[in-house]
Chain A
Amino acid sequence: MSNVPWWASEDFWRKTAIWVTAGMAVVLVVLTFDTVAAITAGHSRVPAYEVINKRIYYRMSTARGFQEPVIGADAPLFGKMLSPEEAEAMVSHGKLTLQARNCASCHTILGNGAYYAPDLTKAWLDPAWAGESAREYLMVKFLMDPTTNARGFGGKRRMPNLHLTEDEAKAVVAFLKWTSAIDTTGFPRNFTPIAQEGDR
């Protein structure tokens, strides 16, 4: 046992395990500080909540090689300009509704969740909502009674009625509008957004 060279000894590897783990943890913590700053709402990657007062475009960036959200002119949701506090409250109500109604056990959002129903990341920009101006009302109508307004695109799969109140449905729409403005580094790839008025 004394023949074991130092680089194969128990002691050496105990220390190595500790140092490697600690080193990686330190790198992770450093990157976490940087990332948390970048993804705080209103910073470089994640929009401020009052972005729901604006039009959100999705355009190809030649510099980056993929699509990215672009914030446009005023386009108040449900015709009402909100203060930053009101906007945050509404988006937050929407996210709470999303969690309490267990949406991510059928849908993915930012690609995470279940695979039974379509991804919600770009729900706000999806061409399924016919035109830009009618979209928010169509979304509310659908959310409040998805069984009747089911659009299985030819299939039998329907969203169950989760009995959203009008406030909840509107808040979910606000949350999804805000989500669509997150810079997801080009995910989902090749996304074809809804026809955006004044954009083409």
Chain B
Amino acid sequence: MNTAKLTGSAALDGGQRLAVKYFVVAIVLFGAQILFGLLAGFQYLQPDFLYGIVDFSVNRMVHINAMVVWMLFGFIGSIYWLIEDESGTEIVGLKLGNLAFWLFTIAVAIVVVVYLVVQTGPGTIESIWWINEGREYIEAPRWADVGIVVCVLIFFYNVAATFTKGRWTGIGGVLVLDLVAVAGMYLTGMFYTPNLSMDQFWWWWVIHLWVEATWEVLVGCIMAWGLIKTLGARRQIVTTWLYIEVALMLGSGILGLGHHYFWIGTPEYWLTVGGFFSALEPVPLVAMVVHAVYDSGVHRFKSPNHPALAWLIAHAFGNFFGAGVWGFMHTLPQVNVYTHGTQWSASHGHFAFFGAYATMNIAVFYLAAQKWRGNVNFGAGLVDNGWKWKWSLGLLNGGVLGMVMALLVSGYDQVFIERALEGATWSGFFKAQQNAWYLQGMWWRQVFGYMTFAGFFLLVWDLMTIGVRETRPAVFHTEVAEHAA
């Protein structure tokens, strides 16, 4: 080991050592997400595959739950990564944070084992407490919900107390308030009612207000810190813009919730509310475009971490197309009445989750890897010309984009046959599922799924090896500016 530079956990502060644990689990779950997605996708093509053993329902549930949890682990890790630096002090409850990490991880492992082995239970409230809650994305049984809330509260305590002990920054303030909302929204999904409309009404508070409000703000905070650290952006400007983005995102996103209340039994004014605010939801994205262009004129972008920068650019495009374009395409109720509940939604879901959140987490993984390797150069002139990160970037983005397009073809075919021609009946559903165009979309989705998996494999390989033989130190823009001054 090179003695001139600190590497591994010795190079990290306390929060960052904890963050790395979260990142490792996040990556494992990312792999699980893709693997179970591949199994579920294959069952579309070969319905007898694992039939009665690990049915589609199980694979699909693990697929989407792994996704939600790896995003969360990535976010929590990212915040632990930045907290000591941002607050200017040591983390308050590191031991507690470690305990929460292990609790959370073990709980996730138990939940997955129960999903795979026990799978289902009798129609009683006990099943919901101990086996499976049976509500999309938040299938985790109630005991695990309670565990998650406890872990998030510990996390919240750590963040709030650390900022209180150190210094409060704009980023810190937004972060802490946002975490209150993250935890609070989750509580709205933790009750049972026989009333399906009521169930889905509150269920969307968790799903939408997490994904299209609080998670966006969380990512905004991580991004703001990243801009200050890696590009040397001035804190005051970044903070002001974080507030502007919060105002724009929550101003359109909170009532954008309305676009989920078109067809679940809720009153008709939601059609107008949802349509109106969904039309506004792309405005923050447009704001980012303008701002990015302005910045490109002001700063010379010279990043010592090309993979992270590339993934941030992927984030910008993915967020714009996945959430913005793919969202608005079918968000007006006049269109949505046909597309709701078809592969169209799957297309949008894959694009938006990957584009807005997976990309961001991967960018942070690369920032972490850089420090872990002793803050060496990840910029130009990487060993092997950095082929691994470039190929994994291409394969992951190409794979997901391919799946998105394939699902869109299937979705359109489904709308055409099931909803338009066949009157949305069950026989219409199956007629669409057997149509050549639909099946071809599913087939291509699977191919691009394998491509995504190959990209994931390379990503892991790259994160484990990138910069190992690199000796040149990373030169950050801030430092360039300081030297010049």
| A residues adjacent to B (C-beta < 8 A) | 1, 8-10, 13-14, 16-17, 20-21, 24-25, 27-28, 31, 34-36, 38-41, 44-46, 49, 88, 91-106, 108-119, 122-123, 126-128, 147, 152-158, 160-162, 165, 168, 171, 175, 179, 182-192
Contact = CB atoms under 8 A, between A and B. Distances in A.
B123 A39 contact: no
6 smallest CB-CB distances across A and B, nearest first, come from A97-B123, A99-B134, A111-B341, A192-B423, A187-B263, A153-B430
17 contacts: A21-B246, A95-B199, A99-B135, A102-B58, A105-B134, A110-B263, A111-B263, A112-B203, A113-B136, A114-B136, A156-B48, A161-B52, A165-B122, A168-B122, A184-B265, A189-B338, A191-B423
A20 B213 CA distance: 13
Given A17-B243, A187-B340, A189-B338, A28 B236 contact: no
Interface of B is mostly: helix
Contacts of B132: 99-100, 102
B191 interface: no
A190 B420 CA distance: 7
Contacts of B269: 31
Contacts of B273: 31
A105 B247 contact: no
Interface string B250-262: 1100110100011
Contact of B430 (A40, A41, A154, A171): A154
Interface stretch (B97-105, B146-154, B156-164, B342-350): B342-350
B424 interface: yes
B243 A40 contact: no
Contacts of A104: 134-136
Given A10-B236, A96-B128, A152-B430, A105 B60 contact: yes
A21 B173 CA distance: 14
A114 B60 contact: yes
A189 B424 CA distance: 7
B170 to A, nearest CB: 7
A115 B246 contact: no
Nearest to B422: A192
Contact of B170 (A14, A49, A153): A14
A38 B195 CA distance: 12
Contacts of A27: 255
B471 interface: no
Given A35-B266, A99-B132, A100-B123, A41 B195 contact: yes
Contacts of B264: 110-112, 182, 184
Interface of B: 40, 43-44, 47-48, 51-52, 55-58, 60-61, 119-125, 127-128, 131-136, 139, 170, 174, 192, 194-201, 203, 236, 239-240, 243-244, 246-247, 250-251, 254-255, 257, 261-271, 273, 337-338, 340-343, 345-346, 419-420, 422-427, 429-431, 433-434
Contacts of A41: 194-195, 198
A2 to B, nearest CB: 12
Contacts of B120: 100-102, 162
Given A116-B60, A154-B434, A190-B420, A98 B134 contact: yes
A21 B247 contact: yes
A68 B195 CA distance: 19
Given A106-B60, A116-B56, A155-B434, A39 B426 contact: no
B58 A115 contact: no
B123 A168 contact: yes
Nearest to B241: A13
B51 A160 contact: yes
Given A104-B135, A184-B265, A28 B423 contact: no
A88 B337 CA distance: 30
Nearest to B344: A115
B267 A38 contact: yes
Contacts of A157: 47, 430, 433
A127 to B, nearest CB: 6
A9 B43 CA distance: 55
B419 A190 contact: yes
A190 B197 contact: no
